[in-house]
Structure 1
Amino acid sequence: MLKALGVQLPIVQAPMAGVSTPALAAAVSNSGGLGSLGIGASTVAQARQAIEETRALTSRPFNVNVFCHEPARRDTEIESNWLNYLAPFFLEFGIETPATLDEIYKTFLADEDAFRMLLHERPAVVSFHFGLPSPDKISAFRKAGITMLATATSLSEAKAIEAAGIDGIVAQGIEAGGHRGVFDPQGVDERLSTSVLVRMLVTRTSLPVIAAGGIMDGAGIRASLDLGATAAQLGTAFILCPESTANAGYRQNLKSDRATITRLTSVLSGRPARGIVNRFIEYCEAAGSPIPAPYPVAYDLAKRLHAGAAKHGNNEFAAQWAGQGAPMARELPAAQLIKVLAGELQAAGH
């Protein structure tokens, strides 16, 4: 599938909304992999600009990822309890506690402007996270010649992706950093490892499978290919690249012993996501803590609190997403990292 697009290496850089940049995506694509942009947290204008900037830096294919979550089910009592629980931190940093919270990200399921923008821009690849868009959108992308990928964390999600006519599956294991791509965060999550999930999807579906979760080097990529995947998607491996937007605090923690302790939690955004454990996570997961507001409403509060704390030099309230392989992250320019990964992959060959 990727080879048909002209992608030379079986390496995909994860979209990582808020961390990936046009410079990162272009560097990966120019080096033979598939670079990606995550636009789920962007306005349509910001997304269009990112695509244009990437195109100015590369003529090779790249992926644009969107969030297909169900709109938040607002609950005044839950949101009020969440605000009250975190109010002491706003007081600690001298910030006014918000009176209300906002649904800060518009789901692609209801964003016609974003859909029309992507049809107009026609990136080589569009990928879906948290679910799938409507059949008419999928049909329109197919007619436009756009290759489509979608994240699955289970066989049932993979079957839905296959039935919808998507071109490939990103098999996201429990080791992965960032937001878990479950379609229904209230449903049962078996929390399958990347290796188990990849084998299951390779043997139970007919689509190409891209392994994602805990893959940090060429040996990990080779292991994924040996399991039957057509490629591997790496996210945390690229965070320390100078082309990413990760700030100094994020980079410092990723290079420290703190990177050895990550946790899958819903308290930061309202949806399960894996990141480096900090004061915010520990406080919000303590016994007796209330239920978090739904995604992305909870994220509004977390971002406001982090912004206030950061002004005091405190990064203990940041969402520092990272997978279980975080201690193996390397601080290299993206092009050099791809070269190293390709060399390791070749050395690990049989």
Structure 2
Amino acid sequence: MNTSQHFLDRLAIQLPIIQAPMAGISTPQLAAAVSNAGGLGSLGIGASTVAQAHQMVEETRALTNKPFNVNVFCHAPAQRDTQREAAWLAHLAPLFAEVNSALPSTLNEIYPTFLGDEEMLALLLEQRPAVVSFHFGLPPNEHIAALRQAGIYTMATATNLQEAALIEQAGVDAIVAQGVEAGGHRGCFDPEATDERHSTLVLLRLLSSRSKLPIIAAGGIMDGQAIRAALDAGAVAAQLGTAFILCPESAANASYRSNLQSARAAATRLTSTFSGRLARGMVNRFIAYGEAAGSPPPAAYPVAYDAAKQLNAAATKLGNSEFAAQWAGQGAPLAREMPAQQLIETLVKEIVA
């Protein structure tokens, strides 16, 4: 059985605290601050080009000499369906008209998958971050082997026992057990399969009783007391995302921060309306509109995201943030505004309190 200390020693970090990657919200400044404070900072490059990813890694390296994690998306390529995409755009037409924007004529698959992305793999092998983690599935076995051969520690998200078994069989080093409380996208390998939506604690106990791999608990963890509970339940570390959004080092904009500090934070929902895959965020007008009775299904991931992002960009110019994807977990009302280093110090005090 892997202990937390063994995991920390392997990664050469001091604290069992991992900052979740959060593509679009995590920054080199945030990742470096967490790593410098003794945890494991993370970059989410799933929405980045190879050039952008390279810049983010370089910027992080300039700010810390400590280990950090780089996360990639391993989703299956979108199954394009012109009729479904047209129906979704037609449904969104009144919203585009409301923000004085022309309806897009076509939608694009804006986030390329890491599956088969030889350029991104080459970048990771060249840069050799301490950790590379996978979300939405697993890359080919030879990619995992190449990363491990380069001395890179690998982790992958699991939402159930079957995914955890596939992760173990693939030779990945550790499992991120993502409970349904987590903000952002569910890491399900197959979005069409039945999702049991296990809570973090239930999933952690299930996996720790059946897997030999180190398990990181993720979902709804906002303070040191919850980290301690996860460690007591068998986790080697805890991964926190929403807890870091209010840190000044995150890329969250003023609207996101304001909503996370308001009563709105108490209402989060899993929705596929934004991207085409289930993700938990604070409920706003876009979610309510997209899920209203009679609404067609959104386009496939990440094609639907192209529509949502274009709509939000137009609305933002008018000072309207009701169409923004503001991801947050169920623990959102517990979010605290402070620099990342101070948050880490606070969490540590709470763990041992």
Question: What is the TM-score with the length of structure 2 in the denominator?
Answer: 0.98
Query: Residues of 1 paired with 2:303 and 2:338: CA distance?
Result: 35
C-alpha distance in 1, partners of 2:96/2:116?
Answer: 33
1:22 to partner: Cα distance: 0.3
Note if 1:152 corresponds to 2:152.
Answer: no
SS of the aligned residue for 1:101 comes to: coil
In the TM superposition, what is the alpha-carbon distance from 1:111 to its structure 2 partner?
1.3
Cα distance in 1, alignment partners of residues 117 and 272 from structure 2: 24
2:3 alignment counterpart: none
- One of 135, 139, 149 as aligned partner of 2:145: 139
| Structure 1 residue identity aligned to 2:47 | A
How far off is 1:91 after superposition? 0.8
CA distance in 1, matches of 2:82, 2:38: 49
Matches within 5 A, 1:280-299: 280-299=286-305
The corresponding residue for 1:130 is 136
Which residue of structure 1 lines up, in the alignment, with residue 115 of structure 2? 109
The superposition leaves residues 200-228 of structure 1 with CA deviations (integer Å, 9 ceiling, x where unpaired) of 00011000000000000000000000100
Residue 199 of structure 2 is matched in structure 1 by 193
Q: For residue 327 of structure 1, what is the aligned residue in structure 2?
A: 333
1:78 CA displacement = 0.2
SS in 1 for 2:187: coil
CA distance in 2, matches of 1:134, 1:190: 26
Q: Which amino acid aligns with 1:342?
A: V
Alignment of 1:175-254 (within 5 A): 175-254=181-260
1:99 aligns to 2:113 (yes or no): no
Q: CA deviation at 1:110?
A: 2.5
* Aligned equivalents of 1:223, 1:110: Cα separation in 2: 38
CA distance in 2, matches of 1:110, 1:254: 37
Rounded to whole Å, the distance in 1 between the matches of 2:9 and 2:87 is 51
Q: Deviations over 1:71-114 (max 9, x none)?
A: 00000000000000001111111101000000001000021110
Q: What's 2:4 paired with?
A: none
Structure 1 residue 5 displacement after superposition: 1.7
Q: Is 1:56 the counterpart of 2:62 in the alignment?
A: yes
Matched residues in 1 for 2:106 and 2:8: separation?
45
Name 1:86's counterpart in structure 2.
92
**Residue in 2 that maps onto 1:19:** 25
CA distance in 2: counterparts of 1:343 and 1:306, whole angstroms: 39
Once the two structures are superposed, what CA deviation does each residue of 1:234-267 show, in whole Å capped at 9, x if it has no partner?
A: 0000000000000000000000000000000001
Aligned length: 347
User: What is the deviation of 1:4?
Assistant: 1.6
SS state of the match for residue 65, structure 1? strand
Matched, 1:31 2:37: yes
In the alignment, what sits opposite 1:263? 269
Measure, in 2, the Cα distance between the counterparts of 1:300 and 1:208: 36
- Runs of 4+ residues over 2 Å off in structure 1: none
C-alpha deviation, 1:297, in angstroms: 0.2
Measure how far apart 1:346 and its partner are: 1.1
Q: Which amino acid counterpart does residue 147 of structure 2 have in structure 1?
A: F
Aligned partners of 2:117 and 2:171: how far apart in 1? Answer: 21
Secondary structure of 1:110's aligned partner: coil
SS of aligned partner of 1:342:
helix
Distance (whole Å) between structure 2 residues aligned to residue 324 and residue 256 of structure 1: 14
2:76 is paired with a residue whose SS is coil
Offset from partner CA, 1:135-182 (integer Å, 9 cap, x none):
110110111010000000000000000000000000000000000000
Among 10, 25, 30, the alignment partner of 1:4 is 10
SS in 1 for 2:115: helix
TM-score normalised per structure 1: 0.99
Aligned equivalent of 1:172, options 170, 173, 178? 178
**CA RMSD of the aligned region, Å?**
0.5
Take 2:201 and 2:190, find their aligned partners in 1: how far apart are those partners?
22
Provide the C-alpha distance between the structure 2 equivalents of 1:92 and 1:5, rounded to a whole number of angstroms.
50
Gaps spanning 5+ residues in structure 1: where?
A: none
Q: Deviations over 1:10-45 (max 9, x none)?
A: 000000000000000000000000000000000000
- How many Å separate the matches in 1 of 2:206 and 2:289? 37
- Give, in whole Å, the separation in 1 of the partners of 2:39 and 2:160: 26
Distance in 2 of aligned mates of 1:344 and 1:31? 15
- Amino acid paired to 1:48: H
CA shift for structure 1 position 62:
0.2
Give, in whole Å, the separation in 1 of the partners of 2:273 and 2:116.
25
Which runs of 5 or more structure 2 residues have no equivalent in the other structure?
1-6
Distance of 1:112 and 1:288 partners within structure 2: 42
